[in-house]
């Protein structure tokens, strides 16, 4: 999706990276499966590297320069896992409405903030920086 219209009339553009009004949502119901798949991908690479079998590394993760290509292959595989398990969320820069992608497809449901207006809640730099510490 490159753009869509908010109910308030604002057009939300998604045409570049690092957008402060866009986030990925990992639903709790699939979080364990997500991390299991990530673990499995790392485990497969580690086993292939430890075995010393360059052919196995190349077959599983990429052809030439086995370890370098393996890392690129791993990155693509992890991106695929991420894309399958997450949904997008957008915050309208005019009204602050959140648009949450339904689990499957390209349909969105909107939620209006009680306080109203854009608050940059999806931005990594919004709010208290100490709140980013998950420990």
- Per-residue pLDDT of 2-18, as tens digits, reads 898 999 999 999 999 89
SS3 87: strand
With bands split at pLDDT 50, 70 and 90, how would you rate the model's confidence at 61?
low
Domain limits, the chain: 28-84
- The pLDDT value recorded for residue 76 is 85
How far is the C-alpha of 108 from the C-alpha of 114, rounded, in Å?
19
Tokens read off for 102: 């339904």
Per DSSP, 127 falls in state S
For the segment 5-32, the average pLDDT, to the nearest whole number, is 92
Task: Give the per-residue pLDDT at 72.
Answer: 76
pLDDT, mean of residues 44-63: 71
């Amino acid at each position: 999706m490159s753009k869509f219209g908010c109910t308030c009339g604002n057009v939300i553009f998604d045409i570049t990276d690092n957008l402060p009004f866009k986030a990925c949502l990992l639903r709790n119901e699939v979080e364990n499966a997500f991390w299991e798949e990530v673990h499995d991908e790392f485990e497969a690479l580690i086993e292939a590297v430890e075995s010393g079998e360059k052919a196995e590394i190349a077959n599983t993760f990429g052809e030439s320069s086995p370890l370098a290509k393996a890392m690129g292959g791993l990155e693509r595989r992890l991106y695929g896992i991420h894309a399958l398990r997450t949904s997008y969320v957008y915050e309208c820069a005019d009204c602050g409405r959140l648009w949450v992608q339904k689990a499957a497809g390209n349909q969105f449901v909107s939620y209006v903030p009680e306080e109203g207006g854009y608050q940059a809640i999806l931005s990594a730099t919004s709010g208290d920086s100490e709140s980013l510490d998950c420990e």
